[in-house]
Amino acid sequence: MQPEFWNDKRPAGVANEIDLGAYKSVIEVFERSCKKFADRPAFSNLGVTLSYAELDRLSAAFAAYLQKHTDLKPGDRIAVQLPNVLQYPIAVFGALRAGLIVVNTNPLYTAREMRHQFSDAGARALVYLNMFGHLVQEVLPDTEIEYLIEARMGDLQPGLKGPLLNAAVKYLKKLVPAFHLPQAVPFKSALAQGQGHALKPVKVSLDDIAVLQYTGGTTGVAKGAMLTHRNLVANMLQVDACLGQLGDDGRPLMQAGHEVLIAPLPLYHIYAFTVHCMCMMINGNHNVLITNPRDIPGFVKELAKWRFTGICGLNTLFVALMNHPDFRKLDFSALKLTNSGGTALVRATAEQWQQITGCAITEGYGLTETSPVVSTNPRGRLARLGTVGLPVPGTALKVIDEQGNELPLGEPGELCVKGPQVMKGYWQRPEATAEVLDAEGWLKTGDIAVIDPDGYLRIVDRKKDMIIVSGFNVYPNEIEEVVMAHPKVASCAAIGVPDEKSGEAVKLFVVPREPGLSVEELKAYCREQLTGYKVPKHIVLRDALPMSPVGKILRRELRETA
């Protein structure tokens, strides 16, 4: 279906087309917004608020530091491995302004995962939080990283608050394991050294890569999706167009410069990156960063400080918040936008959220490879629970059979997407790119979907075996590879099973090589080798696994019995 098919289906206020010539790069979006909304708050975290003017100044200092004190050149990769703290937008926009490609990295990665990503991306610089310094020290010899910039929780706190916070994190909470990286430059020093130099503007085009966003796509090892300035700018404009939907009062849903958005989802995840770092910026809105959304009591306490108008999250998070007794006591009178993505929204969650907050959850759909938003539900009466809504402007969708033939409306098949937000390809992986992207620009998503006759999109299944835990992609191949390295394991298989809290959880079936292997031993081993959300929640020891005639483990049968 071409984009025109949806033109008469969108709600009032949502444009059918976006102006791709509006900005020349992500840098231009950022710099224009910082000038236009200079005195307005941009980001708040840990009691500190940065205005757009301060964000402009600090990111320019960071960019100038990179230009003056390193030999990094435009197009070089810089990994940013930070949670939701103020240093994140400063480092990311500073790096982009210096012409570098940002490699978004999960701070909770294990050494094995960091090693793969840094090496694959060919990162030459890394910005990290000192809490993870011990892992940086461990992986550094196996990478091409030459420059280290070390952030601390108290970097942007005023006066004595900074050193006090840093001391509390290190000595009271004992969150900083010992490490030795004498070559690392403190984040504060980098800003101070950059402040004395003028930022040299770099020439960047819409076709240049802005971000390498790692994903397993639909198969095993993580690959870097090359997201260009055009991809990110386009998706920002597409999402912004949808936020222009008119309410019953004839006014757009989002008012420029007036919105307070709660950001609990990690900014290194493409969903939060596009919404909070890009989309809210063109409208001069205010993002409140939640550093540790797992600390629900702390999260609820933070929510009580703000008259927030929007929140982005996913099923797991909504359930955890609603289970906290103080959540119901919050003031929801200004809340008009609750967005859900990353994993399927459970109907019961949506109904309870609306009942407590008075605001309906709007579900959408996207992929790392599409920067990420493909479709979203309209607000209000036009929203349809159980669907992921209508494609964002300028996006074509089709559903194909196994032979690649387009199927009629209402028929399930593999969903394909075409639009300006579709990635350039996978970093240095032409074969993997060719598997998902055809010559006409159609991206195969690996998801089984139905386009209803009225244009709404429903995701019915995943073509591959990927498991989605709290919005994060978990690839069975990776887990199986790690577990197979255990000397007492003969064979294993990982599948996803429904989980009330996280949407899905990992269930692992293991055939021991010798007696005496315990579930506890396996869990401890997995915790050492895998990020928390990838660690199997359920482990079952078996004598054998179902196999095909050629000896392939049949995950499908395991899912049916599970």
Domain with 177 in it: 26-38+49-204
Tokens 């593999």 found at: 414
Q: Is residue 449 part of a domain?
A: yes
Q: How far is CA 227 from CA 152, 207, 422, in A?
A: 29, 9, 8
Tell me the average pLDDT across 508-533: 93
420 and 272, same domain (yes or no):
yes
User: CA 368, CA 423: separation in Å to the nearest integer?
Assistant: 8
User: CA 267, CA 291: separation in Å to the nearest integer?
Assistant: 10
- The full DSSP string for 366-395 is E-GGGSSEEEEPPSGGG--TTS--EEPTT-
Q: How far is CA 96 from CA 28, 60, 197, 398, in A?
A: 10, 10, 17, 34
Tell me the average pLDDT across 504-527: 94
8 and 58, same domain (yes or no):
no
pLDDT in tens, 380-421: 888 998 899 999 999 999 999 989 999 999 998 899 999 999
Q: Is 409 left (phi over 0), alpha (psi -120 to 50) or beta?
A: beta
Q: Is residue 44 part of a domain?
A: no
Q: Is residue 102 part of a domain?
A: yes
Tell me the average pLDDT across 97-111: 95
Answer whether 16's CB lies under 8 Å from 10's CB: yes
Instruction: Sheet containing 457-462: give its strands across.
Output: 396-400, 413-418, 443-451, 457-462
| 24 CA to centre of own chain | 24
Closest by CA position to 395, among listed 371, 361, 425: 371
Tell me the average pLDDT across 202-229: 87
Residue 278 has pLDDT above 90, yes or no: no
Count Cβ atoms below 10 Å from residue 423 Cβ, excluding itself: 27
Boundary-marking domain end, from 204, 238, 273: 204
CA angle 396, 399, 401 (to 5 degrees): 150
pLDDT in tens, 49-98: 999 999 999 999 999 999 999 999 999 999 999 999 999 999 999 999 99
446 and 482, same domain (yes or no):
no
Name 411's Cβ contacts closer than 8 Å, sequence gap at least 6.
399, 450
pLDDT in tens, 478-505: 888 789 889 999 889 999 999 988 889 9
Residue 552 has pLDDT above 90, yes or no: no
- HSE-up of 133 (CA within 13 Å, CB side)? 21
265 and 142, same domain (yes or no):
no
Omega before 252 within 30 of 0, i.e. cis: no
Q: Is residue 426 part of a domain?
A: yes
Answer whether 289's CB lies under 8 Å from 45's CB: yes
Residues linked to residue 494 through DSSP beta bridges, in sequence order: 508
CA angle 523, 527, 529 (to 5 degrees): 115
Residue 219 has pLDDT above 70, yes or no: no
% helix / strand / coil in the chain, to the nearest 5?
35, 25, 40
Boundary-marking domain end, from 169, 189, 204: 204
pLDDT of residue 548: 61
More confident residue, 86 or 112: 86
Q: How confident is the model at residue 217 (pLDDT cuts 50, 70, 90)?
A: very low
Q: Is residue 485 part of a domain?
A: yes
Answer whether 330's CB lies under 8 Å from 303's CB: yes
The b-or-e profile of 231-249 (16+ CB within 10 A means b, else e) is bbbbbbbbbbbbbebeeee
137 and 239, same domain (yes or no):
no
533 and 446, same domain (yes or no):
no
8 and 60, same domain (yes or no):
no
Q: Is residue 274 part of a domain?
A: yes
Q: How far is CA 351 from CA 126, 319, 355, 539, in A?
A: 43, 11, 6, 33
Question: What is the CATH classification number for the domain harbouring 450?
Answer: 3.40.50.12780
Tokens 């102006």 found at: 19
Tell me the average pLDDT across 123-150: 98
Q: Is residue 214 part of a domain?
A: no
Pairing of strands 337-340, 361-366: parallel
Pairing of strands 101-104, 209-215: parallel
pLDDT of residue 197: 92
Q: Is residue 215 part of a domain?
A: no
Q: How confident is the model at residue 48 (pLDDT cuts 50, 70, 90)?
A: very high
338 and 377, same domain (yes or no):
yes
- N-terminal to C-terminal alpha carbon distance within the chain: 37
User: CA 377, CA 347: separation in Å to the nearest integer?
Assistant: 14
Answer whether 308's CB lies under 8 Å from 280's CB: no
User: CA 361, CA 377: separation in Å to the nearest integer?
Assistant: 9
Query: What average pLDDT does the structure give for the chain?
Result: 93
- The full DSSP string for 263-298 is E-S-TTSHHHIIIIIIIHHHTT-EEEE-S-TT-HHH
Number of domains in the chain: 3
Q: How confident is the model at residue 551 (pLDDT cuts 50, 70, 90)?
A: low
User: CA 363, CA 385: separation in Å to the nearest integer?
Assistant: 8
Q: How confident is the model at residue 463 (pLDDT cuts 50, 70, 90)?
A: low
255 and 200, same domain (yes or no):
no
Boundary-marking domain end, from 424, 441, 463: 463
Tell me the average pLDDT across 3-15: 94
pLDDT of residue 455: 96
3-state secondary structure of 149: strand
Residue 218 has pLDDT above 50, yes or no: no
Please report, rounded to a whole number, the percentage of residues in the chain having pLDDT higher than 70: 97
Closest by CA position to 98, among listed 207, 227, 194: 194
pLDDT in tens, 415-460: 999 999 999 999 999 999 999 999 999 999 998 899 999 999 998 8
3-state secondary structure of 502: coil
pLDDT of residue 336: 93
200 and 246, same domain (yes or no):
no
Instruction: Sheet containing 101-104: give its strands across.
Output: 185-186, 147-151, 125-129, 77-81, 101-104, 209-215, 223-228, 425-426
Question: What is the CATH classification number for the domain harbouring 497?
Answer: 3.30.300.30
111 and 181, same domain (yes or no):
yes
Residue 210 has pLDDT above 70, yes or no: yes
263 and 405, same domain (yes or no):
yes
